[in-house]
Structure 1
């Protein structure tokens, strides 16, 4: 994977925060911290996209039916047993 150099500008408060994250041992340097933030943002955006797609799928699946809570609980118990 090729790397690209970027220049960013931080406030003193932000720079202090990044330095404290490095000093605490969570990250080796500024770049590791920034890359971690980008990865987390990418994951969050992916989760949001999946949720939006699920909502669209649900909305287009037709009319809703009354909820049978007993059936939902039974299905959940069945799934829990199968996962063991």
Structure 2
């Protein structure tokens, strides 16, 4: 696994220490890797929403109800 050397502000370092001290994580590296995984997952969701919005803008108006649009969006989000 590649190693990196990074610097943290004091408050961020304290927060990382707290996460390890609380036994939530076994190391600061584990915390940082989990945060990166979460950010990557969030970016996938943002990209999905952005693509849906762009598609919707190009498609024009719909006669679907709010409930139908919401149901379609929820069913497609987990794909």
Please say whether Structure 1 and Structure 2 have the same fold, judged by a TM-score greater than 0.5: yes
Tell me the equivalent position of 1:61: 59
Does residue 43 (structure 1) correspond to residue 41 (structure 2)? The answer is yes
Give unpaired runs (5+ residues) of structure 1. 77-84
Does residue 6 (structure 1) correspond to residue 13 (structure 2)? The answer is no
TM-score (norm 1): 0.72
Partner Cα separation in structure 2 for residue 53 and residue 18 of structure 1: 34
Give unpaired runs (5+ residues) of structure 2. 72-79
> Whose relative contact order is higher, 1 or 2, with alpha carbons under 8 Å and at least 6 apart?
2
Tell me by how many angstroms 1:68 deviates: 4.0
TM-score (norm 2): 0.76
Structure 1, residues 29-66: CA drift from partner, whole Å, max 9, x if none?
A: 0110000010011011111100000001111113x145
